[in-house]
Structure 1
Amino acid sequence: MPLHIVLVAPEIPANTGNIARTCAATDTSLHLVDPLGFRLSDRYLKRAGLDYWEHVQLQRYPSWQVFTQTHPEARLWCFSVRGKEPYTEVAYQPDDWLVFGSESKGLDPVFLEHYPSVRIPLSGPVRSLNLSNAVAIALFEALRQLGSQV
């Protein structure tokens, strides 16, 4: 498994469905950390993921603590508008974990204190990108660096 996407407390089912489809298309695992703002049976989640759900390598965790206990050696990159390093300046490695927060709040500042933080530079009046767009931008840059033909 070359890369992992981690969503911490995602709120919008269609975003998570779109991210799941991107993960299926790139053979990237998807990890969801509770609380989720929807049920996994949500029709909007299923619709956005289309019929690709069987190809999604999905894991769910009841908390961030359980996630970190399950994957203590994970090399994490926390994406945030407050991140320190531009996403294109990170030297991604196989088995990296790209971590994203909820649509309305992003990642709690404590994440940025404990883990390397990354940002997708923005200009203009927009505060942040749509979560599924941000995941796709970051994932495809990491895959490009790793020489993926996806």
Structure 2
Amino acid sequence: MTQDRDNHEPDRTAAPTGAGPISLALYQPDIAGNTGTILRLGACLDLVVEIVEPAGFDLSDRALKRAGMDYLAMSRLVRHVDFSAFEASRLAAGRRLVLFTTKASTRYTDFAFTPDDILLFGRESAGVPDGVHALADAAVTIPMDGGGRSLNLAVAAGMAAGEALRQVRWGSTAR
């Protein structure tokens, strides 16, 4: 079940999955600062940010406000009590799940995004479990030609959002 856990601030919480074009979904995020940065990104680019709980930090208003600063009030945040609730909501809305992972072979820039995609990012410490990999409709990677193990979660989400929006909202030609 998808829940608004901050019932005293209903304007901060969007409708369940399916609320609009392209969502950024965070699977059990570990670091409040990354989540706050991604909420700011979502607010600035008009994207829904979905958090699949439990998180590795306090998701109270106070903790999120510190991480998201004044952009938190502008963000569209959806919280799911667990992955099963997220998946049920996603399937009911008929949305495609695109997993960003270091284990994929398809480059994110070679992938054709659609307006209702959900871009899923795993935990900073462990990614997503194999069962979540198996449920993804597609898996893509951001190539790291410099040989690093992985990018910062907020950086990866920003790169992913930029490419997906370039394809579906801003057009594929440079302006």
TM-score, normalization: structure 2? 0.80
- Residue 140 of structure 1 corresponds to 162
| Misfit runs of 4+, over 3 Å | 42-45
Which of the numbers 134, 142, 145 marks the counterpart of 1:123?
145
1:60 and 2:82 correspond: no
Q: Shift of residue 110 of structure 1? A: 2.6
Letter aligned with residue 5 of structure 1: L
Unaligned stretches of 5+ residues in structure 1: none
Q: CA RMSD in A?
A: 1.6
Which of the numbers 77, 80, 84 marks the counterpart of 2:105?
84
Is contact 2:31-2:56 (8 Å) kept? yes
Unaligned stretches of 5+ residues in structure 2: 1-19
- Residue 70 of structure 1 corresponds to 89
1:11-39 per-position Cα deviation (integer Å, ceiling 9, x unaligned): 00000000000000000001000110111
Letter aligned with residue 128 of structure 1: S
Which of the numbers 37, 41, 49 marks the counterpart of 1:18?
37
Secondary structure of the 1:6 match is strand
CA distance in 2, matches of 1:148, 1:108: 33
Larger Rg: 2
**Identity value in percent:** 40
Letter aligned with residue 52 of structure 1: Y
Q: Shift of residue 83 of structure 1? A: 1.5
Q: Shift of residue 79 of structure 1? A: 0.5
CA distance in 1, matches of 2:87, 2:148: 32
Aligned residues: 149
1:47-97 per-position Cα deviation (integer Å, ceiling 9, x unaligned): 331101111111111111111112211211001000231100111111110
Q: Shift of residue 44 of structure 1? A: 5.5
